[in-house]
Amino acid sequence: MSPERSANMDVEMVRAALAAAVPGCQVEIIANSRPAAQHSLLVDAEHAVAIAEFLRDDAALRLDYCSNVTGIDWPMKDGGGYLEAVYHLYSMEKKHGPLVLRLRTLDRVAAVHLPSLAPVWRSAELQEREIFDLFGIQFDGHPDLRRLLMWEGFAGHPMRRDYVEPDDYEYEPTAHETVLQKAQQHQREAER
């Protein structure tokens, strides 16, 4: 790796290193056709923690900093699909990155479990909680997996593409014009 911060890491080299270091792991390069051409690595959940530890500890990579973790909902027209957690990794020591690492759930409803990478990169702890809260991914092994933005008892996960906004806005602390109109309509219907 170059001592200068590079725009993109050599994902093919990283994929080959992972295949050699973590026997049985499945690593797929996800190409990005956008101008930035920031390709990513999709790894299997079974080996994700071992892969993360290798990326952090390998002398040539030393990806010791996770700057960002986000969730993505990929629904399919047939009702299937999956959820994804995306990690952006950098090396503070080697001054290179990012490496974009992806983990996918088996589906969007019943199999929404992924291993937590917070034990590897502490900076992922709050971000995984946010993804759990907003997308519903269950991060197994997370030290404190509970809602972060929504309150306990909140129904659903508001960043899912199939999330239906409630029509009962009695909890809304500041009734904006459209919220107020929906709340008044709901009240009128309840009084009938």
Give SS3 for 185.
Answer: helix
The radius of gyration of the chain from alpha carbons, rounded to an integer in Å, stands at 20
Domain identity same for 92 and 172: no
- Position 82 in a domain: yes
Domain identity same for 63 and 134: yes
pTM (two decimals)? 0.84
Q: What's the pLDDT score for residue 114? A: 98
Count up the domains in the chain and report the number: 2
Residue 188 belongs to domain spanning: 164-192
Supply the DSSP symbol for 169.
Answer: -
Domain identity same for 132 and 182: no
Q: pLDDT tens, position by position, for the chain (192 residues)?
A: 433 334 468 999 999 999 999 999 999 999 988 887 789 999 999 999 999 999 999 999 999 999 999 999 999 988 889 999 999 999 999 999 999 999 999 999 889 999 999 999 999 999 999 999 999 999 999 999 999 999 888 889 999 998 887 766 555 555 567 777 777 787 888 888
Q: Are 106 and 81 in contact (CB under 8 A)?
A: no
Domain identity same for 45 and 69: yes
